[in-house]
Amino acid sequence: MTSRRGRGEDSVYLDGDRWRGAASLGYGPDGHRIRKKVSGATKAEVLRKLRDLRGELNAGLPVPYDRLTVAAFLDRWMTKSLPGQVSEKTFDSYADTVRLHIKPSMGRKVLRKLTVSDVDQLLAWKRNAGYSANTVRIIRAVLRRALKQAEREGLVSRNAAALSAPPRVRSDEGRALSVDQARTLLDQVRGTRDEPLLTVMLAFGLRRGEALGLH
């Protein structure tokens, strides 16, 4: 007869032809108990895996958190990790991207199970929905930065967004003014303080910064 184990202790048992073990590793950010299960061909293998888990926990390393969703992690990243690392304007842009694009599509997925295919599918959905290549690029960049933090914490083994295929962003073409457009622009600014500057820019094809640097 097997004695009853105390709550939180590891358990090892034979299930058919496989040995299985379970370890209680405390509580996660949402208050749920973290219970990690392992299996092996022998009892010794299962005991070794449980010892390794305990060793990681005692060393202060993050333990596997099986139920942490992408949405829950992104919320924590936005409130605890990102502030102070970017400007307020960038933070607001990230928050909009997370709220409008990432969480609705993959927020319910378990973070550790997120795959490169999941990210590729998200980006494809956005392209097919008519979003610009630049918007798709931003979505990938924000998710990539968030998953970099998850990877740093040991919550994921690899950054799925970093491994996804980046969208191709074509440079805008045909940005030069035609002769008639240039004349119309000069007519509009004639007699103003901007006329000399724009005349030089149009005549020599200078960028604004180059023209402003002239004496």
Fold of 70-163: DNA polymerase; domain 1 (1.10.150)
User: What does the pLDDT read at residue 7?
Assistant: 43
Q: What is the average per-residue pLDDT within 160-168?
A: 88
Angle of helix 116-128 versus helix 133-153 axis, rounded to 10: 160
Q: What is the average per-residue pLDDT within 19-42?
A: 77
User: What does the pLDDT read at residue 66?
Assistant: 63
Entry pTM: 0.56
> Where residue 160 falls among pLDDT bands split at 50, 70, 90?
very high
Least confident of 41-45, 46-50, 166-170: 166-170
User: What does the pLDDT read at residue 9?
Assistant: 53
In the predicted structure, residue 3 carries a pLDDT above the cut 70: no
Picking from 136, 162, 130, 165, the residue whose alpha carbon sits closest to that of residue 148 is 162
Angle of helix 88-97 versus helix 133-153 axis, rounded to 10: 100
